[in-house]
C-alpha cells in the first residue's frame, strides 16, 4: 500500500490542485451536504478538485478499502479527507503525510461520539480517530465550538474552522395564520439525533393543536427507528406525527414550506447544517444547549441587540422541551418574535463561497509533519470522549 512522494517538478499551490476523498454513499447527511457544496464552490473559485468517492463500510475498512484510500491520496499533493474515511485508516494517513503529502481531515463528527454502539467498538473508534488526527497535516471542522472540543481532546492547536454555508431559499409560509402549527425535524433517525425525546415531549402536549414530521434516513439504526415509531403508536399520535423516512425535492421542500418551527433534539451537534437551512427560510429553531448548534443559531448576528430566532435547551429532557414548546404554542407574541428574528437573519447568513474561502485560507498556512508541528506531541495523552448517556 505504497504512497509515493509528490513529483519534484514545478511546484503547484496547494489551494489550486486538491484531492477530495469522501465515502461513496448518497444519504443527505449534513456531512455529505457539506462536502458536496464545498466541492462545488471550490471549483467555482477555480480550484482543480479531483473527487474520490470510496466504496466500503467506512469507518470499518479492510485491506482493499485502505488500498483505495492510499491510491486516492497518491493522486494529489494535497487532499481533504472526510473524517469517517480518514479515521478508519490512520496508518494510510500517517504514510501519506510521511511521504510528503498534505492531508487535511474534514471532521464533521468524531465517530466515537455516535450513541448506541457497543462500548468496545466505541473505544476502538476513539483509538483510531486519535491516531488519524495526530498524523494528519491539519484538521478542519464546522464550528468554533467543535474546534475547542478537538483542541482539548486531541491536543491540536491548529484546528481550523470552515462554517457551513447556506443557499438562498424562499420564505416558508408555515401555518401560523392558516392552520395547525407544524414542527419539523430533519436528521437521520439515530440515538445521537434523539427523536425519542421529541416524541415524548409532544406526547405531553396532546391537548394542544400541532403536527410534526420527523424526516431522515431510517436505515442507519433500524432498531432505533422502530422504537421511535412504536413510541408514536403507543402515545396515540400516529395521525399527528409522520415519519416518512428520507425525503428529497420537491417532497422535502413541501415540508420546509409548511414548517413553523424546526426542533433539533440531538444529544450532540458539532454545528447543525439544517439550522442554517431553516433560518434561510425564515424558520426559527429549538436546538440543544452546550453544542455547536447554539453557534449555528447565532450565525448572521450583526449586533448584540439582534433577537435570537429560537432557543437552546438541555438535550435528553422531554419535560423541559415540552414546557418550551407549550410556551411557544400558547404565546402568539413569542411565535411572532422568533419568526421575525429568523426573517431578519436571512440576508446575513454565510454562503458556501465563504466556506470554500475559509478552507483555502487554511490550506495556505504552513503544515508541518507531526514530528515538527508546534506543540506536538501533546503534553499528555489525548482525552477520551466522555461516556455518552444512552
Over residues 329-363, the pLDDT tens digits come to: 999 999 999 999 999 999 999 999 999 999 999 99
Instruction: Say if residue 50 is in the same domain as residue 143.
Output: yes
Whether 107 is covered by a domain: the verdict is yes
Residue 47 domain flag: yes
Digit-coded pLDDT (tens) for 279-310: 999 999 999 999 999 999 998 776 666 789 99
On whether both 127 and 189 belong to a single domain, the answer is no
**Whether residue 156 is found in the same domain as residue 87:** yes
97: domain CATH number is 3.40.50.2000
Distance CA 218, CA 199 (A): 16
**Does the pLDDT of residue 136 top 70, yes or no?**
yes
Are 282 and 146 in the same domain?
Answer: no
Measured distance CA(127)–CA(358) in Å, rounded: 29
**204 pLDDT band (50/70/90 cuts)?**
very high
Residues 63 and 118 in one domain: yes
297, 151: one domain: no
User: Would residue 1 count as lying in a domain?
Assistant: no
In a domain, 99, yes or no: yes
Tell me how far apart the alpha carbons of residues 256 and 348 are, in angstroms, rounded to a whole number.
20
What's the number of domains the chain is made of? 2
Beta bridge partners of 50: 19
Task: Examine the domain organization and report whether 157 and 274 are in the same domain.
Answer: no
Average pLDDT over residues 129-138: 94
**384 located within any domain:** no
- Rg of the chain, C-alpha, whole Å: 22
Surface-to-core class of residue 156, CB atoms within 10 Å of its CB (0-12 exposed, 13-18 middle, 19+ buried): buried
Lookup: cell for 225: 427507528
In a domain, 379, yes or no: no
> Within this chain, do residues 72 and 194 fall inside the same structural domain, yes or no?
no
Q: What is the pLDDT of residue 117?
A: 85
Average pLDDT over residues 28-35: 85
The answer to whether residues 191 and 337 belong to one domain is yes
What's the start-to-end Cα distance of the chain, in Å? 39
Range of the domain at 77: 17-165+354-364
Are 59 and 144 found together in one domain?
Answer: yes
C-alpha cell recorded at residue 281: 427560510
| DSSP assignment letter at 24 | S
Within a domain: 147 = yes
**Percentage of the chain lying above the pLDDT 90 cut:** 73
Instruction: Let me know whether 144 and 192 are in one domain.
Output: no
All cell numbers assigned to 244: 416518512
Same-domain check for residues 156 and 50 = yes
What does the pLDDT look like over 143-195, one tens digit per residue?
A: 999 999 999 988 888 999 999 999 999 999 998 766 899 999 999 999 999 99
- The pTM assigned to this predicted structure is 0.88
Contact 280, 346 (CB under 8 A): yes
Amino acid at each position: 500500500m505504497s504512497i509515493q512522494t509528490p513529483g519534484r517538478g514545478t511546484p503547484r499551490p496547494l489551494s489550486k490542485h486538491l484531492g477530495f476523498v469522501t465515502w461513496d454513499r448518497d444519504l443527505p447527511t449534513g456531512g455529505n451536504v457539506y462536502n458536496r457544496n464545498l466541492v462545488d464552490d471550490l471549483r467555482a473559485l477555480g480550484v482543480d478538485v479531483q473527487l474520490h468517492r470510496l466504496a466500503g463500510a467506512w469507518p470499518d475498512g479492510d485491506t482493499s478499502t485502505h488500498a483505495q484510500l492510499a491510491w486516492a491520496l497518491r493522486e494529489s499533493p494535497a487532499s481533504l479527507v472526510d473524517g469517517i474515511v480518514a479515521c478508519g485508516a490512520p496508518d494510510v494517513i500517517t504514510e501519506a503525510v510521511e511521504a510528503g503529502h498534505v492531508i487535511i481531515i474534514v471532521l464533521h463528527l468524531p465517530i466515537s461520539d455516535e450513541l448506541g454502539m457497543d462500548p468496545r467498538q466505541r473505544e476502538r473508534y476513539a483509538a483510531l480517530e486519535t491516531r488519524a488526527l495526530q498524523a494528519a497535516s491539519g484538521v478542519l471542522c464546522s464550528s468554533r465550538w467543535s474546534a475547542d472540543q478537538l483542541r482539548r481532546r486531541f491536543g491540536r492547536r491548529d484546528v481550523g474552522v470552515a462554517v457551513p454555508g447556506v443557499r438562498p431559499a424562499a420564505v416558508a409560509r408555515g401555518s401560523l395564520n392558516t392552520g395547525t402549527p407544524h414542527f419539523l425535524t430533519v436528521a437521520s433517525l439515530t440515538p445521537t439525533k434523539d427523536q425519542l425525546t421529541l416524541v415524548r415531549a409532544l406526547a405531553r402536549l396532546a391537548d394542544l393543536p400541532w403536527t410534526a414530521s420527523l424526516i431522515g434516513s431510517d436505515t442507519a439504526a433500524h432498531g432505533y427507528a422502530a422504537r421511535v415509531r412504536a413510541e408514536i403508536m403507543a402515545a396515540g399520535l400516529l395521525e399527528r406525527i409522520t415519519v416518512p423516512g428520507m425525503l428529497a425535492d420537491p417532497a422535502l421542500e413541501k415540508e420546509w414550506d409548511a414548517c413553523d418551527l424546526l426542533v433539533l433534539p440531538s444529544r450532540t451537534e458539532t454545528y447543525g447544517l439544517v439550522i442554517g437551512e431553516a433560518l434561510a427560510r425564515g424558520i426559527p429553531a429549538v436546538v440543544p444547549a452546550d453544542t455547536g448548534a447554539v453557534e449555528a443559531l447565532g450565525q448572521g448576528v450583526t449586533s448584540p441587540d439582534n433577537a435570537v430566532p429560537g432557543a437552546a435547551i438541555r438535550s435528553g429532557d422531554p419535560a423541559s422541551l415540552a414546557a418550551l414548546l407549550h410556551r411557544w404554542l400558547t404565546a402568539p407574541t413569542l411565535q411572532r418574535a422568533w419568526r421575525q428574528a429568523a426573517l431578519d437573519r436571512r440576508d446575513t447568513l454565510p454562503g458556501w463561497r465563504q466556506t470554500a474561502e475559509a478552507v483555502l485560507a487554511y490550506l495556505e498556512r504552513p503544515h508541518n509533519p507531526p514530528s515538527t508541528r508546534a506543540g506536538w506531541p501533546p503534553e499528555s495523552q489525548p482525552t477520551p470522549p466522555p461516556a455518552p448517556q444512552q
